[in-house]
Amino acid sequence: MTEPTHDSIREKGPVRRRFLNWLLGTGAGAVCASVLYPVARYLVPPEVEESDANQVTLTIDPRDIAPNSGQIFRFGSRPGMLIRTPQGELRAFDGMCTHLDCIVQYREDLGHIWCACHNGHYDLRGVNIAGPPPRPLQPYTVIEQDGKIVVSKDV
Amino acid sequence: MASAEPRRGRAWEWLDSRLGLAGFERLARKKEVPVHRHTIWYYLGGMTLFLFIVQVGTGILLLFYYRASASEAYESIRFIMTEVKFGWLIRSIHHWAANLMILTLFLHMFSVLILRAYRPPRELTWLTGAGLLVVTLAFGFTGYLLPWNQLAYFATRVGTQIVGVVPVVGEGMLRLLRGGDDVSGATLTRFYAFHAAVLPTLIVGILAVHVYLVQKHGMSTPPSVEKRGGGRGALPFMPHFLLRDLVGWLAALAIVAALAAYFPAELGEKADPFASAPAGIRPEWYFMFMFQTLKYLPPHILGMEGEVVGIMAFGLGALVLIFVPFIDRRRDGKPSHPFFGFLNYVWFGMIAFILIMTYLGYAEPVPDTSAQPGVEAVAEPAGGEEAVP
């Protein structure tokens, strides 16, 4: 280490004081960090494992579902939208509007899927046709089986 | 100075030598309120403060019965509304004073903005005021969820998702706000912590600085009044203006009490995370203009999703408002660029936009979906579910 010159001492103070200030500053910084880091991590919610079910069996009798109607069902932790088209075909989609996360409904007067929150419209294939939604609803596969309905997601 | 003051009792002298009461008294007596044709706008800040005090009082009372959990919140509010003596009154006053407080706060902000009271040296008064507005809106947003009803549930889904679409930080902020990926009981406890602990701490801190600065700098005289050679003198704040303030506060209390008595706060239906958003869903009136704008935006604007563009535009508008003391370069008695004279038209345009969008939001007809037989089935979603791993 070179001897400090008089100029550097005049500008920045004696070496020992500079060192002690640095020690104090980093110490204070470390104390703050050791308090703030656990608090910040505490506030971030832990990851909950997504339900890995990619298939659900609904115990609704398919014969009870009238044409031109729709209802919400549980697909793991997400809502799903089950509809019977006016032509009698059962279809299912993700129930969350692609705009801002509201849950959609089936409008019998319009004959298609509608989101009440911001007036978004989807056709019977889940394609966004009017209003602000930017993307189609994700379609699911529906199979009717012995008076039950099996809804599955393509993996 | 001290010799000119009248002699007080011994208790005053004992306290003064320990607390320095004379200093506080000087600060309180220093302020004068200019009298001119815009004096009426000086009442709005104090009225907002009064309504805030009402909120603290009624909020503490509600804490005695409220339970912050998804299975009990709705029931505990119903208990307050139906069983607890004067419970309906306390909750209704909390509801109406909150609405009125936001109204007076907006009027206060726009009057300060248009009369340009944010000019130096009051930039920090404006900034702390902007902070108070943000915290108050956060109070409104978090408090809205606490009854855990359908309207609140979907308003919170949309409101938090709006934060979620902000580029880069949105995703993390969304999880931080919701306490998970979805709005759930975890969101409710979080909002409760914000509403009853975090935001009160913040607002008291900012409010103390704001009121201190108002006291330190005194009231601003609008440039339009100064140009005409000032107003009709000034009124001492203590006690003359304060007494007039009190009359205003009494009137506000009467209005809140009347609204609470004639239009008690509603509770609606309990939140159901597996039900469709009900037709006619809408947020509180002070978020209505943003809500309605989001309805009108097309799915895609310039290759970006419409709602992202809309939310960024609102964010930009808010930033311009917050930093207006540093944007407006007009200085008293000095010529400035004509652009700054244009600013007042921008503010009136902003007010007109808010009013028109709010009107359109309420004027929109609600489609009648309740008459449809199929919708009944939506109300019982969990009945036939059986997950296959």
Q: What is the pLDDT of residues B198-243, one digit of tens each?
A: 999 999 999 999 999 998 888 888 888 888 877 788 888 888 888 9
Residues A128-154 have a mean pLDDT of 88
A residues 105..144 contacting B (CB < 8 A): 105-109, 115-119, 128, 131-134
Instruction: Indicate if B186 and B306 belong to the same structural domain.
Output: no
pTM to 2 decimals? 0.85
Peptide bond into B239 cis (omega under 30): yes
Residues A72 and A137 in one domain: yes
Please give the structure tokens belonging to residue A99: 């705009």
Whichever domain contains A92, its CATH number is 2.102.10.10
Residues A66 and A142 in one domain: yes
First vs last Cα of chain A: how many Å apart? Answer: 65
Is A109 in the same domain as A34? no
> What's the 3-state SS for B91-115?
HHHHHHHHHHHHHHHHHHHHHHHHC
Most confident listed range (B129-143, B291-305, B364-378): B129-143
In this structure, the answer to whether residues B277 and B305 fall within a common structural domain is no
Q: Does residue A31 sit in the same domain as residue A105?
A: no
Determine phi and psi for B11, rounding to 5 degrees.
-65, -45
Model confidence pLDDT, tens digit, residues B49-92? 999 999 999 999 999 999 999 999 999 999 999 999 999 999 99
Which CATH number characterizes residue B103's domain?
1.20.810.10
pLDDT digits (tens, 9 = 90+) for B244-283: 999 999 999 999 999 999 999 999 999 988 888 888 788 8
Q: Determine the angle formed by the axes of helices B288-296 and B338-363, rounding to 10 degrees.
A: 80
Would you say residue B148 has pLDDT above 70? yes
- Let me know whether A30 and A59 are in one domain: no
Instruction: Please report which confidence band the pLDDT of residue A2 belongs to, taking 50, 70 and 90 as the band edges.
Output: low
Poorest-pLDDT segment among B24-33, B163-172, B342-351: B24-33
**Is residue A49 a part of any domain in this protein?**
no
Count other C-beta atoms under 10 Å from residue B243's C-beta: 9
Same domain, B55 and B192: yes
pLDDT band at A114 (very low <50, low <70, confident <90, very high): very high
Domains in chain A, number: 2
Last residue of one domain, picked from the residues B281, B299, B321: B281
Pair A37, A61 in one domain: no
Q: Over the stretch B305-323, which tens digit does the pLDDT of each residue have?
A: 888 899 899 999 999 999 9
Q: Is omega for the bond preceding A62 within 30 degrees of 0, making it cis?
A: no
Q: What is the DSSP letter of B379?
A: G
B145, pLDDT greater than 90: yes
Contact B277 A105 (CB under 8 A): yes
Angle at B27 between CA B324 and CA B17, to 5 degrees: 145
CB contact under 8 A, B274 and A117: no
Q: What domain count does chain B have?
A: 2
**Contacts with A, B 279-308, CB within 8 Å:** 279-281, 291, 294-300, 305-307
Nearest CA to B135 among B52, B252, B219?
B52
Grouping H, G, I as helix, E, B as strand and the rest as coil, residue A106 is strand
Query: Which chain A residues touch B300 with a CB distance below 8 Å?
Result: 134
Whether residues A29 and A97 fall in one domain: no
pLDDT for A33 beyond 60: yes
pLDDT category, B371, cuts 50, 70, 90? very low
Domain residues for the domain of A139 are 55-152
The Cα-based distances of A120 to B59, B159, B279 in angstroms read 37, 17, 12
Between vectors from CA B365 to CA B364 and to CA B366, what angle results, nearest 5°? Answer: 115
pLDDT higher than 70, residue B379: no
Do B106 and B145 reside in the same domain of the chain?
yes
Residues A135 and A76 in one domain: yes
On whether both A36 and A75 belong to a single domain, the answer is no
Within a domain: residue B277?
yes
